[in-house]
Amino acid sequence: MNFNSHTDAVIAVAVALVNTLTPGERRGRAYRPPAGEERRAAVAEALRTGSRVAEVTPEEAGEFCDVARELREVFEGVARGDVDAAAVRLNALLEKYEARPHLDRHDGEPWHLHFHGAGGTAVRDWAASCATGLAIVLGGELYDRLGVCTAPACDRVYVDVSRNGTRRFCSTACQNRVKTAAFRARAGA
Ligand SMILES: [Zn+2]
C-alpha cells in the first residue's frame, strides 16, 4: 500500500525525525536523542529517508527537534484514539509552516506536487511537507495507520503500510521482544 511516492517519502521522513529526535523509550531502553555533531548527522540521515540528500547545519538540527516534537503529538493523538486532537494539531502545523501545494519540475523529473511554497527555510519546508504528508493520511480511509509502538518500554512511532493494517510495533525487534515475553510467560505458567 502506498499513497504516492512523494507523500510516502515525506511520511517516512516524519517518522524518522520523530524517532530520532524525541526522547522517550526505544526497544526496551530509555532513549535520549543525539546531541551536537551526532544530532546533525542524524537529521541528515532522517532526511535521506525521503531520498533527498540534504545539507543540515547544527542550528537547523536544533530546529528540527522542535518540529519532531510537534509531529509526535499527531502520532500520539491517533494512537490513543483521539483523532480530533491529532487533526487540530495538524491543522495548526499546516498553518504555522504555511503548507501549500505547488507543482514543481526540476532535475529532469516530471511535474510533481510539493507541499511548501518557495522561499521558506529548509526546516520550514520540511515541516510543511511532513505535516501535509500526515494530513493526507489522517484525511483518508487509512487515518488510523499512524501509531506508537505498543511493546513495553518503547514509544517510537510508525506508519502502518501493511495491506491488512494490523501493525502494532515500531520494528521487528519490538515484535520479537513481545513474542519472546509471551512465550516465556506461557512456558512458565
Ligand atoms: Zn518499539
Q: How confident is the model at residue 1 (pLDDT cuts 50, 70, 90)?
A: very low
The string of pLDDT tens digits covering residues 176-189 is 999 998 888 888 87
Quote the distance between the C-alpha of residue 97 and its chain's center: 16
pTM of the full predicted structure?
A: 0.91
C-alpha cell at 166: 494490523
Please name which of 105, 122, 113, 112 lies closest in space to residue 47, comparing C-alpha atoms. 122
Please give the distance, rounded to the nearest whole angstrom, from the Cα atom of residue 75 to the centre of ligand 1. 14
Evaluate whether 42 touches 65 at the Cβ level (below 8 Å). no
Q: CA 49 to CA 83: how far, in whole Å?
A: 26
Please give the distance, rounded to the nearest whole angstrom, from the Cα atom of residue 84 to the centre of ligand 1. 25
What are the backbone angles phi and psi of residue 27, rounded to the nearest 5°?
Answer: 50, 45
The string of pLDDT tens digits covering residues 3-25 is 567 788 899 999 999 999 999 99
Residue that the C-alpha cell 491529532 belongs to: 86
Q: Domain-by-domain residue ranges, the chain?
A: 5-188
CATH number of 5-188: 1.10.3300.10
Please give the distance, rounded to the nearest whole angstrom, from the Cα atom of residue 23 to the centre of ligand 1. 13
Please give the distance, rounded to the nearest whole angstrom, from the Cα atom of residue 172 to the centre of ligand 1. 8
Please give the distance, rounded to the nearest whole angstrom, from the Cα atom of residue 6 to the centre of ligand 1. 26
